[in-house]
Chains A and B, each alone.
Chain A
């Protein structure tokens, strides 16, 4: 299985909105509504931010939102804050009943 494709880096100023894309195939992202997004700060374990394309776990800020169109999923962070600076990974369930991650995107808050 091939890793999902994410941009290596994105950046934005405080208060702005940014979007991170995650492109797969019809065998993963496009075929299931099981896309999730994880935030990882340096030296820390990943944290679930979005699951099932657009659902937020309890305690996650509503500034984080997810969507999907075809084989591409997206994570949008609105009202960017300094604490949002981190690496973000998408993940999808696959037709082989496995999971696959994206390569990760480094978010820089300017």
Chain B
């Protein structure tokens, strides 16, 4: 049973960089069958996809956040990470990591495993 767990500071100052890590247990971040994603949810609002990374290091980001986002993977620690620079109060949200499964035929099977989420508040 694969599990994901987000970790990182719960409070970040404006203009600084938000850094979060997602630890994968019960499975391998190096598997070629998965894309590892970050999603966030501001208080009382909907879900926003941030971006994903493949084990090879290939990434893709939400165009609205692309200039500030970096997602990386550390296969030795079985983790992937999110960095969001120049944060403002608008970046206050619950941040989730999730897994997108791709089957043997190359079809995507949705975000089938999610972490519990971690709350990040941007405030001085």
Seen from chain A, the residues whose Cβ lies within 8 Å of a Cβ on chain B are 1, 3, 34, 36, 38, 40, 45-48, 50-52, 55, 57, 89, 91, 93, 96-104
When C-beta atoms are compared, the residue in chain A nearest to B108 turns out to be A34
Contact with A along B82-112 (1 / 0, CB 8 A): 0000000000000010001000000111111
Task: Note all chain B residues with C-beta closer than 8 A to A97.
Answer: 60
Assess whether B49 is in contact with A91, with CB atoms less than 8 Å apart.
Answer: yes
Nearest CB on A from B39, distance (A): 8
Contact of B111 among A1, A46, A96, A104 (CB under 8 A): A46
Bound-complex Cα distance A47 to B114 (A)? 8
Task: Note all chain B residues with C-beta closer than 8 A to A55.
Answer: 109
Task: Note all chain B residues with C-beta closer than 8 A to A93.
Answer: 108
Asked if B16 CB lies within 8 Å of chain A CBs, one says: no
Bound-complex Cα distance A97 to B48 (A)? 15
Whether A57 touches B112, Cβ cut-off 8 Å, given contacts A45-B96, A52-B107, is yes
Nearest CB on A from B36, distance (A): 13
Asked if B14 CB lies within 8 Å of chain A CBs, one says: no
Contact of A48 among B39, B52, B62, B112 (CB under 8 A): B112
Task: Note all chain B residues with C-beta closer than 8 A to A50.
Answer: 110
Interface size of B by Cβ–Cβ distance < 8 Å?
Answer: 25
Task: Note all chain A residues with C-beta closer than 8 A to B25.
Answer: none
Bound-complex Cα distance A62 to B110 (A)? 18
Bound-complex Cα distance A93 to B107 (A)? 11
When C-beta atoms are compared, the residue in chain B nearest to A1 turns out to be B63
Bound-complex Cα distance A30 to B62 (A)? 19
Bound-complex Cα distance A100 to B48 (A)? 7
Whether A46 touches B108, Cβ cut-off 8 Å, given contacts A1-B63, A98-B61, A99-B37, is no
Task: Note all chain B residues with C-beta closer than 8 A to A46.
Answer: 47, 96, 111, 114
